[in-house]
Chains A and B, each alone.
Chain A
Amino acid sequence: MRGVVALELRDVVKRYGARAALAGVSFELAEGSALGLLGPNGAGKTTALRLLLGFAAPTSGEVRLRGLDPRDPRARVGVGFLPERVSLPDRATVTGAVALSAGLAGLQGADRGAAVAEMLDYVGLGDRARDRIGELSKGLRQRVGFAIALIGRPALLLLDEPTSGLDPLGMRDARTWIQRARDDGAAVLLCSHVLSEIERTCDRVAILHGGKLAASGPIGEVVRDGESLEDAFVRLVSA
């Protein structure tokens, strides 16, 4: 029997003028599982995320997020998103940025304040709560991005290069946060160039190349005997 699907792309084509960023891509993510979305630069990973969040519409094909059209706001209830480049207004404070996300996630009143304070401590920003975003380093901004994505205990996490800009300690923290979210039952779609991160976090992978799906399935099926995930990735995108 098929598990409940957290997200799904079916025969999706996305064109920008004559160029196809995605050309007939299909994959899905079951609730509670983790999928690594891999591909060289320009393969279409970020485009797929944009479609899943309803930021753009597919040229053809079907995109479903939690069973709904992603442009329907109800589809994004319980969804946490971390973009590749965490860009927030420089003049906003750390607390303000996270509190807004908490409010939009449905947290209200005292619960919201407590959740924000707890989340900032969780991602190591408890002592930077009053700082402005513009005063933070890239790594600290990434931690703010994690706080924004994780607040409200989302049931589905969409993470685009989540360890970008983090130092080794930060990368280890990020893996812990993602793993804890998984342990809490969240489904995770992880776009990353760091293949070791995918191997540690995900049970399945989908590899995009030139806007097409080069391979997808459990990591054990995509990787041949004696190969690492990196070897399999190179083989598939060089073919």
Chain B
Amino acid sequence: MSAFLLLWREALLDALRRKLVAAIAVASLLSLMVLDDCAGCAPAVNVNGQTQDLTSAAPVLGIALMIVVGLWVVTLAGLLASDHLAQSLEDGHATAALARPVRRHEFAFARLAGTLTISLTAGALLLGMTAFWLVTGKELAAGPALLAGLACIPGCIAIAAFAMTASLALPRIAIWLLVFGIVFITTVAALLSLSGPQPPGFFSAIDHFGPPIASAMIRALAPWLPGTPLPTDFAAVLARGVVWAALGLGSLAAAFRRIELR
């Protein structure tokens, strides 16, 4: 087994032993139950004593649901990665491994892969169940849901890698605020860009050049609402997401190579 695989396995086991992961697993299971109720409801309104079926709102509901779950998965990736490398520096695991013939970036990427295995598995479960309910219950097409799931992966890698990089210099609470902040700002920028006129300069720049977390999912799910002005340049936005993931990995490798171990 290669050094990377050994270290990835160790990082995964180390992550699974943490109480935070257990708490997140419980929270995710609870959210699945809420999603079950949410996705299974039959929207209707009562106007002047007459009930009107709002089944046509299902695609909008589905898109909103998928995006909320996707944002949670990306946030989860950042939170889990926020101390997984820093902790290994504190508990001596990093020095024990790096005294052996292990490259710095190999160790850092293995730690990242360990947390991403958990967050992506949780993401596949949450998004998969949500998509299943929407496809079977609301008769929405499965393809866009699958693409939306794929669109989350670069976002998870980018946010987790940047969170891990920042953890070499900042405390965990600061990383958590950063993760929430980045996910929030990029989502607001994506929603403002849908609202018609050009959003303010800052948000426009974020929407055009920032990590496309919500915007990639919106584009993936656009086929659920044919005939609407939702943007459809999915491939270009996904490519930007891949570039951000690569930047995250590069920053992690560069920062960990420069750090002095104690």
- Say whether A and B bind each other: yes
Partner of A55, one of B88, B93, B261: B261
Residue of A nearest to B97 (CB): A104
Residue of B nearest to A53 (CB): B99
Asked if A86 contacts B100 (CB within 8 A), the reply is no
Asked if A87 contacts B92 (CB within 8 A), the reply is yes
Q: For chain A, which range describes its interface: under 10, 10 to 19, 20 to 34, or 35 or more residues?
A: 20 to 34
Asked if B1 contacts A108 (CB within 8 A), the reply is yes
Contact sample, A vs B, 9 pairs, CB 8 Å cutoff: A50-B260, A53-B99, A73-B101, A74-B101, A81-B95, A85-B92, A87-B91, A89-B93, A104-B97
- Known contacts A76-B100, A108-B1; 11 additional CB pairs below 8 A are A56-B261, A57-B260, A73-B102, A74-B101, A76-B102, A85-B92, A90-B91, A91-B17, A100-B10, A104-B97, A106-B101
> Which 7 A-B pairs give the minimum distances between C-beta atoms?
A87-B92, A104-B100, A55-B261, A81-B99, A56-B260, A73-B101, A91-B17
Please tell me the number of chain B residues within 8 Å of chain A, measured between CB atoms. 24
Docked complex Cα distance between A87 and B100 (Å): 16
Instruction: Report the minimal beta-carbon distance from A211 to chain B, rounded to whole angstroms.
Output: 17
Contacts of A90 in B (CB 8 A): 91
Asked if B93 contacts A104 (CB within 8 A), the reply is no
Verify if B98 is at the interface (C-beta below 8 Å from A). yes
Verify if B6 is at the interface (C-beta below 8 Å from A). yes
Asked if A101 contacts B96 (CB within 8 A), the reply is yes
Verify if A140 is at the interface (C-beta below 8 Å from B). no
Contacts of A80 in B (CB 8 A): 99
Contacts of B14 in A (CB 8 A): 89, 91-92
Verify if A170 is at the interface (C-beta below 8 Å from B). no
Verify if A115 is at the interface (C-beta below 8 Å from B). no
A-B contact count (CB 8 A): 80
Q: A55-B95, A88-B92, A108-B1 are in contact. Are A96 and B262 (CB under 8 A)?
A: no
Contacts of B101 in A (CB 8 A): 73-77, 104, 106
Instruction: Tell me the A55-91 residues at the B interface (CB within 8 Å).
Output: 55-57, 73-77, 79-81, 83, 85-91
Instruction: Report the minimal beta-carbon distance from A216 to chain B, rounded to whole angstroms.
Output: 24
Q: A57-B260, A91-B14, A100-B6 are in contact. Are A73 and B103 (CB under 8 A)?
A: yes
Asked if A103 contacts B1 (CB within 8 A), the reply is yes
Instruction: Report the minimal beta-carbon distance from A104 to chain B, rounded to whole angstroms.
Output: 4
Verify if B150 is at the interface (C-beta below 8 Å from A). no
Asked if A104 contacts B6 (CB within 8 A), the reply is yes
Instruction: Report the minimal beta-carbon distance from A137 to chain B, rounded to whole angstroms.
Output: 17
Docked complex Cα distance between A105 and B98 (Å): 11
Docked complex Cα distance between A74 and B95 (Å): 16
Contacts of B261 in A (CB 8 A): 50, 55-56
Docked complex Cα distance between A91 and B96 (Å): 15
Verify if B13 is at the interface (C-beta below 8 Å from A). yes
Verify if B3 is at the interface (C-beta below 8 Å from A). yes
Residue of A nearest to B103 (CB): A73
Residue of A nearest to B90 (CB): A87
Q: A100-B97, A101-B100, A104-B101 are in contact. Are A83 and B10 (CB under 8 A)?
A: no
Instruction: Report the minimal beta-carbon distance from A200 to chain B, rounded to whole angstroms.
Output: 25
